[in-house]
Amino acid sequence: MSAAGAAELPLFPLQTVLYPGGRLPLRIFEQRYLEMAKACLRDGTPFGVCLIREGREVGEAALPEDVGCTARIVEWDMPQLGLLQVVAHGERRFRIRSRRVQRDGLALAEVEMLAEASDAPLDAQADLCARVLRRIIEAAPAGLVQAPPHFDSAAWVSARLAELLPLSLASKQRLLEMDEPRDRLEILRRLISSSGQ
């Protein structure tokens, strides 16, 4: 896959929104996704995770949102035949240019990798977001987020908060589509402030 420009990715549409740096545990049992995961593990290649716009996770190919995030399998286990448990790590945002569905139901998409805005340290106002995120992570079971934490990074804090706060999937998708981490952080700061955190 090229650093910029077009690439072809197998798609895994889900009822979740993955961000760069995010940790995504999956239980894979459908044949099309088992084959996809085996190929990704064999070739060291990523797959694309997109929020489902229409359809369901199981059965016919679902219609995905246009913007998603590449995911690379970093851990895997097969506790029983036909069930693959993996942990994937979110890498880069992409936009779907075109999409086709194979006979086995697996969707392949030509995607354009989206440029990431330069990261920035948190300013004094955004420090509220880092404090709330730290509380969430400290209260959660180990392994909720990929170590080590980066509480001084606007991109990391905004992505982890967007993943972990109880927001609608549509809101999480809109936040993923934002190019500037500081803008995402400001929206999250306002949400936290209005909720009295």
pLDDT in tens, 81-107: 989 999 999 999 999 999 999 999 999
78 pLDDT higher than 70: yes
The percent of residues above 90 in pLDDT, for the chain, comes to 75
Residue with tokens 């999956």: 26
Q: How high does pLDDT run on average in the chain?
A: 91
pLDDT at 37 over 90: yes
**For 164-192, what is the mean pLDDT?**
94
pLDDT given at position 121: 85
- 75-109-52-24 Cα dihedral, nearest 10 degrees: 10
Distance set, CA 115 to CA 11, 108, 118, 193 (Å): 20, 21, 9, 30
Q: What is the pLDDT of residue 159?
A: 96
Confidence of residue 197 (pLDDT cuts 50, 70, 90): low
Own/partner pairs for 42-45, CB < 8 Å, 24+ apart?
45/1, 45/72
Say what the pLDDT of residue 196 is: 62
Q: Is pLDDT above 90 for 2?
A: no
Share of the chain above pLDDT 70, in %: 94
- Digit-coded pLDDT (tens) for 157-171: 999 999 999 999 999
CB 98 within 8 A of CB 109: yes
Residue 185 has pLDDT above 90, yes or no: yes
Structure confidence at residue 1 (pLDDT)? 45
In this model, does residue 3 exceed pLDDT 60? no
* Mean pLDDT to the nearest integer, 8-32: 95
User: Is the pLDDT assigned to residue 12 strictly greater than 80?
Assistant: yes
Contact partners, residue 123, CB within 8 Å, separation at least 6: none
8 Å CB contact between 47 and 70: yes
Helix (H) or strand (E) holding 10: strand 6-14
Tokens for 31?
Answer: 């044949």
Does the predicted TM-score (pTM) go above 0.85? yes
What's the whole-number mean pLDDT along residues 170-196?
Answer: 92
Count CB neighbours of 100 within 10 A: 11
